Chain A
Amino acid sequence: MSSSQLAQKRKTNTGFSPAQRGTNNSRAHIVLAVVGFIMVFPFLWQLIMSLSTNAQVMSVPPTFWPGELQWQNFAAVFTKVPFLSQLGVSITITVLRVLGQVVLCCMAGYAFARMRFSFKGVTLGIILSILMVPSQVYLIPQFQIIQNLGLLNTVWGIVLPGIFSAFGVFLMRQFFMGLPTELEEAARLDGANPFQIFWKVMLPLAAPGISALVIITTLWSWNDLLWPLVVTTYAESMPLSAGLATMQGSVSTDYTVMMAASIMAMAPVLILFIALQRRVIDGLAFSGTK
């Protein structure tokens, strides 16, 4: 490395001398690469198994490369489990929850952050108090409500309680509190009513907060197991998370199909994550640290 390059590096990096950085970073790379491999190995192994034959999956020592790739395992998923209807349920519940939460949490969050009204503290306290209680405590009565409404085994039955999110309200409140007040004042002087101010002025500014909420709700809704398991009994009305967990009985020995199905179940969210990784990580970090 020439001296000019060294000088260049020294300028761009804080504090550490290039020599020290070089040696320590190579050690860091080794550690990070090893741990990184452990983190993705189950996914790689799953992919390999999904493209193998059942005999190869059960062979000892393991077959690390199946040779001829068994793509038909992926096709078999559609005939052996009600994959398409479960995928449909997963997509529907996620979209409904995200839309519901965005509308409701933005409205409530904005009111709590920027509006003046009596009993505001008490109301916010009531909503936030549910954050401290583990979800199992609500589960039986929620089930009874959904049952009484005749919504068992329906998409709305799965969606309904999760539309209301104290966490989302809190997140959006924190976000709205951080926005400047000048624009609101200006809009108010122009004669806009509170709804117009919220809708036309504040909501566009809230895009980063909303994207954090969308990411969290999508992940949570797509991956959630316990509640869908409680309100659905037919395989066709389950989302993928519950469908996968209960499919063991029917196709338990068809390991390769099971692997293909689980890849297809998590693929949409994983692909979204890899495409938007910066935004997802920032969104989760934002929600975690606020």
Chain B
Amino acid sequence: MTLPAGTTLGGIAAAQRPARQRAGSPTDGWWPWLFVLPTLLGVLVFYIWPLFQTGYLSFTETGPFGGETWVGTENYAKMLGDKNVGLALVNTVVYTVIVLLGIPVAILLASMVNRPGLRFATFYRVLFFMPYIAMPTAVALVWRMIYNGDFGILNWFLSIFGIDGPYWTSTPGFAIVAVGIVGMWSSLGFSMIILSAGLKNIPPDFYEAAQLDGASRWKQFTSITVPLLTPSIFFVTIISVINGFQLFDLLYAIMGSRNPAMQQSQSLVYIFYNQAFIHNNRGYAAAIAMLILLVIGIVTWFQFRMQKRWVNYV
């Protein structure tokens, strides 16, 4: 399948540069550049240049006929005073925290599903992993039905216990929690496999020794499994936070565009999308993108700093 592209490159290279003995030479000549250049050019054009361009755009305003005019730090000043942006930041944090609450559950499930000799382990893994594989916009439509205030099965279920469920996705405050629950549901499988891979690296003799000392299952879990799993837990936390702060798909698809609660339930990326591609405020949107970059950067940096306190590398 990939032969034509490859052979052409090889052919050109051979034509341009006659074979030459390279033994002992410090580099491989031009060959590596032929391998690297397509990716390097693509990355420069589609990622590195846009990075600087967005930085520039964040100091501009889109004119009525396109084009940009320099407005200095106006967009940033506007952003600081924009209570929607503040609210979006809060919503994004709430969503991320809910998703993070899934990690302890994932640790417990991973340790259960990886028990030696557990039957149906593969079956369980498939069940847990399905939400992660499934298209977010497709599962969002199902969750909208489940959350429906009039006939959704969730409120019917709650009514059995005498609870009068809210209109989940159209009540400000509840909406972001509802989206967060779906986020937790869909990311659990991913956390679980990363943690499972970590579990496989724990030497079984640790458990044997604990067994001889008469340690209970729970004691083994808290004093061996969790401490030795901290590098994996750290990785899953970082990934969950980065993904959490980029909340868009689930929110967009669960809420729908004409939802009255959307104004109060926006995430940072949702505001960015709206400003950039619906309202055509490219400069302001670029400033919001820089804010997203900053927030993720700070949180990730903080996590790496705190890492020393709780992550054990063997």
Contact = CB atoms under 8 A, between A and B. Distances in A.
13 contacts: A15-B207, A42-B185, A116-B28, A134-B289, A140-B54, A141-B50, A141-B57, A144-B53, A164-B47, A244-B137, A249-B258, A277-B126, A281-B125
B272 interface: yes
Q: Is the interface of A mostly helix, strand, loop or mixed?
A: helix
B16 interface: no
Contacts of B117: 9, 12-13, 21, 25
B293 A116 contact: no
A136 B151 contact: no
Contacts of B196: 285
B267 to A, nearest CB: 11
Given A123-B40, A126-B40, A137 B50 contact: yes
Of the four ranges (under 10, 10 to 19, 20 to 34, 35 or more), the interface on chain B belongs to: 35 or more
B112 interface: yes
Given A62-B153, A116-B27, A266-B135, A35 B128 contact: yes
A140 B289 contact: yes
B10 A127 contact: no
A217 interface: no
Interface stretch (B74-82, B93-101, B247-255): B247-255
A263 B151 CA distance: 20
Given A145-B45, A223-B136, A288-B235, 10 more contacts: A13-B116, A32-B112, A39-B188, A43-B130, A60-B156, A107-B39, A139-B272, A140-B57, A225-B252, A269-B134
Contact of B33 (A45, A117, A136, A143): A117
B296 to A, nearest CB: 6
A110 to B, nearest CB: 6
Most chain B beta carbons < 10 A, residue from A36, A37, A135: A36
A108 B40 CA distance: 9
Given A230-B277, A281-B193, A284-B193, A134 B145 contact: no
Contact of A28 (B112, B123, B140, B204): B112
Contacts of B282: 140
Nearest to A43: B130
Given A14-B207, A160-B46, A281-B125, A32 B6 contact: no
Interface string A30-48: 0111011111101101100
B178 interface: no
A83 interface: no
Most chain B beta carbons < 10 A, residue from A107, A160, A269: A107
B198 interface: yes
A137 B145 contact: no
Given A28-B118, A226-B273, A14 B208 contact: yes
